[in-house]
Structure 1
């Protein structure tokens, strides 16, 4: 007997359903004491099939550990840097320091500008100009087809 599943008001035999592989991602925060070395953490992620991570700042040791790992990355711009990135030269320097030296051996997918900045937050007025400047810097580095902001 074929198992039957109820999906959006339609009854389907199990043989008609198709499943896709799930990808697992984690947020890798580094606030804490007595943390393991970044390379050890990245090795653990790889051994557990973690294929995507987010880091909240461009920690150089973490970026170094990600080289050649094939783990896709969301790289965060910390809130305390957002206002400074409204200056295009500063944004270009940020990309040249934190992205270009690691690409393409680190699989950058996204740059996240700020973390949980509410519309009422005084920083909110700087988010869009910072994003625009990071995008321009990504374009100048010829990484626009690889990285989204």
Structure 2
């Protein structure tokens, strides 16, 4: 099989797979260390196909943040927060995007995320793991460190 036919087959398969399967596969690729730059188009496609999926928008915002694209991250995080206002990770992504792009109004997002993670242990653990992941992938990420300290200190 040629490379061209393999790529065509992969595209056809991606187009016919349920969006939930594509999301799970893309998330697994991220966990295996694939770069945010290569995953951004995948998550943009997932968001286009499942426009009301807050987790997809949250992931896309995170990838944009890791790829130093705070304005795009801001737009994606806004959509995630609009779809699920109680998602602390969506709020954290929005706060980081706002800090990275020099916007004001971060406090309400941080405070709400802080309240949620203080009450829901499962979400607290998930958010802590995401902070650790972000610092592993981008060790000098000052806005991530600031938001982390605001939420957990």
TM-score scaled to structure 2, two decimals?
A: 0.32
Structure with the greater alpha carbon radius of gyration: 1
Higher relative contact order by CA 8 Å / sep ≥ 6: 1 or 2? 1
Whichever structure has more helix as a proportion of its residues is 2
